[in-house]
Amino acid sequence: MATEIERKFTVTNDSWRDNVRKTRHYRQGYFGGGGKASFRIRVDGERASLNIKSATLGVQRSEYEYEVPLIEANELLDQLCERPIIEKTRHFVDFGGNTWEIDVFEGDNDGLIVAEIELNSTDQVFALPPWAGAEVSHDARYYNVNLVKHPYKLWPTSSL
């Protein structure tokens, strides 16, 4: 079984920007349903993929990803995915021997910045960068699938 082990953190300042080694822009959408899994289509430049992820809360989840034709992915995003479409720029930053992915959201989620680190095990030790804030791995609001239903622009200011 394919497994993703990922921890998520808020971002407290922009000092990470000095160490970006690669940047990608993503457009991704989710198909209705819910239940045991989320179904996502993502376009990343000239590559597109279908992703199926277990709907469990936490740092470890089942995840499957399959490449799909770009033209079909764009049709799915435009015609079948729930709104709003998630648009974000992902910045890859190396820190403490690991690669961090920092997502800067756009559109209805503008203003939200989340840092993620993928790990090999749930108990893997890693260095926390100075720009990483509170851990939000167990906060469902920060999951992309939930940002479609409850975009960041609608979050009460007191809960940020």
Q: Mind listing the pLDDT tens digit for each residue in 65-118?
A: 999 999 999 999 999 999 999 999 999 999 999 999 999 999 999 999 999 999
Which residue from 119, 110, 116, 120 is spatially nearest to 91, judged by alpha carbons? 116
Predicted confidence (pLDDT) at residue 1 exceeds the cutoff of 60: no
Q: What is the pTM of this model?
A: 0.92
The domain segmentation of the chain, as residue ranges, is 3-159
* Residue 4: per-residue pLDDT: 86
Predicted confidence (pLDDT) at residue 27 exceeds the cutoff of 60: yes
* Residue 11: per-residue pLDDT: 98
Classify domain 3-159 by CATH number.
Answer: 2.40.320.10
Predicted confidence (pLDDT) at residue 159 exceeds the cutoff of 90: no
> pLDDT tens across 31-74, in order?
976 678 889 999 999 999 999 988 877 788 899 999 999 999 99
Which residue from 29, 33, 36, 79 is spatially nearest to 50, judged by alpha carbons? 29
* Residue 158: per-residue pLDDT: 57
> pLDDT tens across 106-150, in order?
999 999 999 999 999 999 999 999 999 999 999 999 999 999 999
* Residue 56: per-residue pLDDT: 75
Which residues are catalytically annotated?
30
Residue 87, number of CB atoms within 10 A of its CB = 18
